[in-house]
Amino acid sequence: MEPLWLVGGILAGGLIVMLIHRVCANRAHRVDTQTQQELRTAFSALSREALSANADDFLKLAETRLTQQTAQGLETLESKKKLIDARLEEMGGKLTNLSNLLQAFDKQRAESFGSMRTHLENATHATKGLQQITGQLREALANPSHRGHWGERMAEDVLRLVGFVENVNYFKQKKDAAGGIPDFTFPLPDRRKVHMDVKFPLANYLKALDAVDDATRSACASQFLKDVRARIKELNTREYIDVASGTLDYVLVFIPNEQVYSFIHGRDNSMLDYAIQNKVVLCSPLTLYAILAVIRQSVDNFRLEQASGEVLNLLAEFKKQWAKYVEGMEKMGRRLDEVYSEYRELAGVRTRQLDRQLDRIEDLRLGAAVRTDLPDAPAVLSVAKNLQARTPGSPGSAVPL
């Protein structure tokens, strides 16, 4: 109730002040300065009286409210303190986990860095080795003799990859009937063959790669294309193409590098037509693989066709021999039937007839047993028993099958 009373007093004082102010405003033009001063003095007196009357109550109310708010504030501060402590503890755990993760990450980063460093060192050594090999290869290719050996080695790698066997699927540097000695010769069906040459001019191509300016590079490239055309023309004049001796109307030329093969056709798109006109087929490692695969398939198909013909001939001969075998078996069967018929006759009719005779002899023996004056009776009885034991089908005898 005290707060309501205090609020009511303050509102009443405010209303009084507003009314007085409004009255003063309405009468300002008629009241002089002395009157205004008197009004102010009266208002001040009224205000002091109202404030003095409510001061004690206001202070008591303010002290009570302050005490309550202080207690509530302490409780709020205590709860917030506990919440802050819990948050700080949780944050400490998270910071500890984060510190552990950072330490593990640093350790892993150090290990990864060490491994990467090792790989980089290995890559550096491999690059140096590759550079040395490249330099050695460049030096080897600078020598025409070495280029020929390198081309032969590359060609043999392709041949092994296809599955060719030397002296079976191909011949190396075998002199042909025309007197030429090609690098490789591939036998074909129907006693045909095709030759391949692996010597290829690469000197100007290497110079073009080593050129430091565009003019020199272009001049070396043009000279290299001229060397290729000259090589194609040279092969056309050799004895590698001799249809009368069994060769095909073309010769294979092996270019032992895909980059060189692409360079030729990229710089001169008429080189392929020029080579075909001169009965020359340019082959890179990939295209040579395809050509050799076709050659092997054709040879295998031809051999399969020949083997099929031989199998048919063998089947015809087998049929002939089988007919003779069947005829002989039929003759043997007829003979066996005749022998079996004779055996049945011996085992049946003949055996019964002999049994009858033996029965009669036995009857005679029994009838003559009482007569002891016959000197030959024991001999006749012994002969009868022997005949009975040897006769097929008689009791106690075994019949042979």
Summarize pLDDT for 176-187 with one digit per residue, the tens: 766 678 888 888
Token code pair at residue 42: 């009266």
Same domain, 87 and 180: no
Residues in the chain: 401
Whole-model pTM: value is 0.44
Q: What is the pLDDT of residues 57-85, one digit of tens each?
A: 667 777 777 787 777 877 888 888 888 88
* Beta bridge partners of residue 282, listed in sequence order: 253
Tell me, yes or no, whether 340 lies in a domain: no
Coil vs helix vs strand at 33: helix
Tell me, yes or no, whether 133 lies in a domain: no
Q: Among 283, 306, 340, identify where a domain stops.
A: 283
Helix axes 285-345, 144-162, angle to 10 degrees: 40
Q: How many domains does the chain fold into?
A: 2
Confidence of residue 325 (pLDDT cuts 50, 70, 90): confident
Q: Would you say 269 and 141 are in contact if contact means Cβ atoms under 8 Å apart? A: no
Q: Would you say 13 and 47 are in contact if contact means Cβ atoms under 8 Å apart? A: yes
d(CA 268, CA 223): 12
Same domain, 106 and 183: no
Same domain, 88 and 204: no
Q: Which helix (H) or strand (E) holds 158?
A: helix 144-162
- % of the chain at pLDDT higher than 70: 70
Same domain, 181 and 261: yes
Confidence of residue 27 (pLDDT cuts 50, 70, 90): low
Tell me, yes or no, whether 214 lies in a domain: yes
Determine how β-strand 192-197 pairs with β-strand 184-188.
antiparallel
Integer angstrom CA distances of residue 146 from 99, 184, 196, 206, 259:
64, 17, 18, 14, 19
Residue 284 has pLDDT above 80, yes or no: yes
d(CA 86, CA 80): 10
**What is the domain range of residue 39?**
2-110
User: Which residue type sits at 276?
Assistant: I
Whole-number CA gyration radius for the chain = 65
Q: What is the pLDDT of residues 154-205, one digit of tens each?
A: 888 888 888 888 888 888 888 776 667 888 888 888 788 888 888 888 888 8
Q: What is the pLDDT of residues 215-258, one digit of tens each?
A: 888 899 889 889 888 888 888 776 777 777 778 888 888 888 88
Token code pair at residue 172: 């190396």
Same domain, 101 and 204: no
Max Cα–Cα distance, the chain, nearest Å: 217
Confidence of residue 111 (pLDDT cuts 50, 70, 90): confident
The structure tokens 């491999």 sit at: 126
Tell me, yes or no, whether 260 lies in a domain: yes
What are the backbone dihedrals phi and psi of residue 180, each rounded to the nearest 5 degrees, phi first? -80, 155
pLDDT at 139: 57
What are the backbone dihedrals phi and psi of residue 143, each rounded to the nearest 5 degrees, phi first? -95, 125
